[in-house]
Homo-oligomer: A and B are copies of this chain.
Amino acid sequence: MTGELGRRERKKRQTREALIRAANRLVAERGFDEVTAAEIAEAADVSPRTFFLHFDAKEDVLLGDARLNTDAGIAAIEARDPADPPRTTLAHAAAAMIASAPSGDALSWLGARARLIFGSEQVRARLMQRLLAGQEELTEALRRAYPDLDGLEARALVGSVIGGATFAVGSVVVAVLDDGGDEDRVRDAIRLALQIATQSGPPRTP
């Protein structure tokens, strides 16, 4: 067992990569709805059945690994500044989840793929669903970090911050893309949305 991967594992990855590459190309050319899963498989030169052995849903081929988002969020919670209140910690977690990328600069990755991900209502919805699914684990992580927190309160906090950040980012990205915005403007918009979503609160207290 060295760090190297066996031939089997390498071939599996090749197949997966081929599917991702084919999907990105076809969807960029024709749009998500105009491409069938079978076509993606065909373009990657594998059987249609194989597509669904690698991805749980057609949308997932554009979204990377779901664990990645959740793990990034959990890591951010565990790396919290002990002085921060839960909401602030969660704000960092939300930013980490939304920007989590396979490698390299996260916001660049997201900016470049924003058109693919947010260009279809279905893919957007699937992304939301996946972030939602990760909430349970995030709540556990938050309660570990703040043992005094009530269970329902923790859930509400996690949902509030994660959901808020996700919707805020989704909304501005779609708007910028509809306006013909390029990768840079998408990145700036994401930053703005995260800032607004996580600063929160009425200015002072009237």
Q: A interface vs B, CB < 8 Å? A: 83-85, 87-88, 91, 121, 124-125, 128-129, 132-133, 135, 139, 151-153, 155-172, 175-176, 189, 192-193, 196-197, 199-203, 206
B175 contacts A151, CB within 8 Å?
A: yes
A155 contacts B175, CB within 8 Å?
A: yes
- Smallest distance from the beta carbon of A174 to chain B beta carbons, Å? 9
A192: which of B91, B129, B152, B163 is its contact (CB, 8 Å)? B152
User: B residues within 8 A CB of A164?
Assistant: 159-161, 163-164, 167, 197
A156: which of B85, B160, B172, B202 is its contact (CB, 8 Å)? B172
A200 to B163, alpha carbons, bound, how many Å?
13
A157 to B167, alpha carbons, bound, how many Å?
9
B176 contacts A170, CB within 8 Å?
A: no
B175 contacts A167, CB within 8 Å?
A: no
A159 to B84, alpha carbons, bound, how many Å?
24
Question: Given A121-B129, A129-B121 in contact, is the A171-B200 Cβ separation under 8 Å?
Answer: no
A200 to B168, alpha carbons, bound, how many Å?
15
Closest to A126 in B: B125
Interface contacts beyond A128-B129, A156-B193: sample of 14 additional A-B pairs, CB < 8 Å, sorted by A: A84-B202, A85-B202, A85-B203, A125-B125, A132-B171, A135-B167, A152-B189, A152-B193, A155-B193, A157-B196, A160-B193, A160-B197, A160-B200, A162-B167
User: B residues within 8 A CB of A192?
Assistant: 152-153, 156
- Smallest distance from the beta carbon of A177 to chain B beta carbons, Å? 12
A191 to B138, alpha carbons, bound, how many Å?
22
A199 to B91, alpha carbons, bound, how many Å?
15
A164 to B163, alpha carbons, bound, how many Å?
5
